[in-house]
Every structure is written in structure tokens, then in C-alpha cells.
Structure 1
Amino acid sequence: MTLTAWLSLLAICCLGAMSPGPSLAVVLKQTVGNSRRHGLAASWFHAAGVGLWAFATISGLAILVEQSEIAFKIITWLGAGYLAWIGVKAIRAGRSGNLEVESTEKGTILSAGFEGAMISVLNPKLAIFFIALFSQFISPDAGIVDQLIMTATAALVDGIWYSIVALLLSHGPVLKALQRRSQLVNRLTGGILIALAARVVTL
């Protein structure tokens, strides 16, 4: 892969990662509701899920998902159900006000990571995104090194972007302001996630 091609790939991956959606909502929920480490765990486990989709696309597995309506619908409904479940949990936590950073009931780092991973793993639209993206860069003579570079680029960009989000939210007046409004943040986050789940189901 040439440097020019890689820079083009990098730019598109950056734009994809920065697009607001359920991933941002989950990182926000974990950082504000729990801690910086929870937000970072959600970020990098989410990136691992993105990397899996990227690798699956390059190896041709994602094409099967796109061409199999049943497989696509199953993954879509699982993803919608998971989004709705997280949304309900966020609203209930916001109502009880127990998502303060110092709360003894906050989730574990592993559970935050699992939540981040599931948001990306149960999102079949990533397969379509990567099919559209990688088809512009994969050539018949592309070797394993090129494939690994493309996979690593997608995963690292995603992890770094959401890590930046988590780090910015966990410092200074921004975090304090969000913590003071933690119930509102959680209710808004939960509402967004449920709305996204409903949108997936009704499309």
C-alpha cells in the first residue's frame, strides 16, 4: 500500500470514527457515570470490535453477511436489542442517581469494555461500511501486510478517537458539570440509545 493510499484510508477512518452515534453515547455514559478508566476500556474494546469487522471484511466474511438477509437481520435485531437494554439501564440509573463517579455500585472495567465491544460487534452496518471502504484499496496483489495495515488503521483510529473523548471528559470543569447533571446525561443517553434501537427495527 502506498503512502498516498494509506493517508486516504486514514482520513476516511477518522471521519467514520468521529461520526456521532451509539458508540459515543456509550463512551460518554461510562466516563461520566463511572470513571476515566471505564471510558477508556469501552473505547478500546469497541476498537477491538471494529478491528474484527475490518478483518472479517478483508477476509471476505462480511460479504456473506451483506448477501445473507437472514444473517444480517439476526445481527441487526441483536444489536437493536442490546442498544435498547443499555438505554433502559442508563435511564433507570439516571432516575436513581447512582451513577456518580464515587458510587460503590458502579460497574467493573470489564463490564464497561464488554459494553463497548458489543456496540461494535453487534453492528452489521460496519460490514457494509468496510466493504465500501476497503473495496477502494484492496487489489488482487494485496498481501497479508496490506491487509493487516488496513485492519490496524481502522481499529487504532477508533480506539484513539474515543480515548481522546474519554480523556477530555474526565478532566476539569467539563466532567464536574456533567457529573452535576448525571441524571440528565444518563436519561438523554438512554433516550438516544433507545431511539437508535427503534430506528434500526423500523427501517
Structure 2
Amino acid sequence: MTLAAWFSLLAICCLGAMSPGPSLAVVLKQTVGNSRSHGLAASWFHAAGVGLWAFATISGLAILVAESELAFKLITWLGAGYLAWIGVKAIRAGRAGTLTIDKSENVSLWTAGTEGAMISLLNPKLAVFFIALFSQFVSPDATMTDQLIMTATAALVDGIWYSIVALLLSHGPILKTLQNKSALVNRITGGILIALAARVVTL
């Protein structure tokens, strides 16, 4: 994997993690309703689930590359189409991702972590997203090191972002700003996803 390709992957993973949604809501719920430690537990258990989805997806794509180049190209084009579609949806979503936080009952760190993991592990949309995303970066000459780098990038970006949320963004004024900027986050995410999809056409 080239450095330029890794930066592209890193940017998409960052924007994907930052997009308002149920994962962010769970981390904030645990942080605000219980403690920062609960928020951190939810963050890194969630990241572990993301890492499992990412590695499973990359491994499957690598096998497909080795067995059928035509099938892999088809998935690459379908993946580009999906990225463009969700990019358009993100741009049109506006403030649809605005978050509301409910106070939760006091729970153990393990329970908070499990809740974070389940949000990622039981979300089949992650599998579809990773197939669409990684099909743009997996190549026939990709090594196991490349696969591990992509997996680690997805998991670490997810864990670090939600840790930042738990540590810094749980305070009322900052949380309010995050809510107010959700439309901008959606537009930026959508634009970059569409640009990544267009990359396939120009190759």
C-alpha cells in the first residue's frame, strides 16, 4: 500500500467515525450517563468490533482477488456505486444525524463495553461499507502487512475518535456545537465518498 493510498483510507475512516449516528450516541450516553471510563470502554470495545469486520472483509476480498479478477473488478465497481450513493445520501441528510442523549442507568464497565461492541458487531451495514471501501484499496499484490495496516487503521481511528468524544466532547457547550455542525460533517463526508467513487472511473 502506497502512502498516498493510506492517507486516502485514513481520511475516509476518520470521516466515517466522525459521522453522527448510533455509535456516537452510545458512547455519549455512557459518558454522560455514567462516566468517562464507561465512555472509553464503549469506545474501544466498539473499535474492536470494527476491527473484526474490517479484517474479515479484507481477507475475503484478498481471496477473491486471487481466485477471480473479473469478480473482484465487478465488486469494485459496485462498491464505488455504493459509496457514491451513500455520499449523496449524506449530503442530502442535512441535520438528520443530530444526536439526543438519554441518561442511562449506572452499569459496569464491562456492560458499557459490551454495548459498544454490539453496536458494531451487530451492524451489517459495516460489512457492506467495508466491502465498498476496501475494494478500492485491496490490490492483487496486497500483502498480509497491507491487510493488517488497513485493519489497524480502521480500528484505531474508530477507537481514538470515540475516546476523544468521551474525554472532551461530553461537556454541554461542546456537545451542542457538535450537534449544530452535523449538517457540515454530513456534507464533507458525502463529498469525499463521492470523490473516492469517482477515483475508480479515472483509473
TM over 0.5: yes
CA contact (8 A) 1:47 1:158 kept: yes
TM-score in terms of structure 1 length? 0.63
CA contact (8 A) 1:31 1:169 kept: no
Partner in structure 2 of residue 26 of structure 1 = 26
4+ residue runs over 2 A deviation: none
Partner in structure 2 of residue 135 of structure 1 = 135
CA distance in 2, matches of 1:25, 1:165: 10
CA distance in 1, matches of 2:149, 2:6: 9
Deviations 1:67-113 (CA, angstroms, capped at 9, x unpaired): xxxxxxxxxxxxxxxxxxxxxxx96xx5xxxx5xxxxx610001000
Secondary structure at the aligned position of 1:60 is classed as: helix
Report whether the alignment pairs 1:160 with 2:160.
yes
Partner in structure 1 of residue 117 of structure 2 = 117
CA distance in 2, matches of 1:131, 1:167: 31
Deviations 1:127-168 (CA, angstroms, capped at 9, x unpaired): 110001101110111110000000000000000111111111
CA contact (8 A) 1:35 1:170 kept: no
Partner in structure 2 of residue 185 of structure 1 = none
Shift of 1:174: 4.7
Shift of 1:169: 3.5
Q: How many residues align?
A: 139
Q: Percent identity?
A: 82
Shift of 1:26: 0.2
Secondary structure at the aligned position of 2:20 is classed as: coil
Partner in structure 1 of residue 48 of structure 2 = 48
CA distance in 2, matches of 1:158, 1:169: 15
Secondary structure at the aligned position of 1:106 is classed as: coil
